[in-house]
């Protein structure tokens, strides 16, 4: 385990299939958890991380889809809820720190609107398309016990499970999107 990071829970750990419980925004321990989650996300080259991916059954996610600029500015969302998705559904590859070594084609709407509470107890709405819209939907799926394998269609799931088994045998680690 790296300094100030948490171990990443990997599929098929049953923790990933649990529906998470709401956070109490006044819980001061959430700030430390959010920091550790962000550090874990960055250490594994992720752009989002949900609490069950680090073994915590709480409705908290961290996201940073703008790392390419060289700056880190994670957003912590407590009790996030998708209030609307819109736009055409697009099929695109998604990786997941809890399913290392594979990328899976998942069809999602291009735009998401999410309400959440921040670490100071203030309510916000975040809207995003492209990578941010996809990441919001992916991480909120985790809070609802939905893994990458349930997010794709049946044919993609069969291929993904086969590829994941091969990736595990090849020693894939969180952050790996392929083993080639």
Q: Which of 90, 94, 127, 139 is catalytic?
A: 139
Distance, CA of 62 to CA of 75 (rounded, Å): 6
150 is catalytic: no
Residues pairing with 77 in the sheet: 61
SS3 content of the chain, % helix, strand, coil (to 5): 35, 30, 40
Query: Which DSSP string corresponds to 106-168?
Result: EEEEEEEEEEEE-TTS-EEEEEEEHHHHHHHHHHHHHHTT--HHHHS-HHHHHHHHHHHHHHH
99 token code pair? 């399913």
Give strand pairing partners of 82.
Answer: 114
Catalytic residue list: 139
């Amino acid at each position: 385990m790296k300094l100030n990071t948490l171990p990443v829970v990997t599929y098929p750990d049953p923790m990933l299939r649990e529906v998470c419980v709401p956070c109490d925004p006044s819980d001061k321990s959430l700030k430390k958890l959010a920091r550790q989650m962000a550090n874990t996300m960055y250490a594994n080259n992720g752009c989002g991380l949900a609490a069950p991916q680090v073994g915590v059954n709480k409705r908290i996610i961290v996201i940073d889809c703008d790392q390419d600029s060289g700056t880190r500015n994670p957003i912590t969302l407590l009790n996030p809820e998708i209030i609307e998705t819109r736009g055409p559904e697009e099929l695109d590859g998604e990786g997941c720190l809890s399913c290392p070594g594979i990328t899976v084609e998942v069809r999602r709407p291009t735009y998401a609107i999410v309400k959440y509470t921040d670490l100071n107890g203030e309510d916000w709405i975040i809207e995003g398309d492209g990578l941010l819209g996809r990441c919001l939907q992916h991480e909120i799926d985790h809070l609802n016990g939905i893994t990458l394998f349930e997010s794709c269609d049946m044919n993609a799931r069969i291929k993904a499970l086969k590829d994941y088994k091969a990736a595990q045998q090849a020693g894939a680690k969180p952050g790996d999107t392929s083993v080639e």
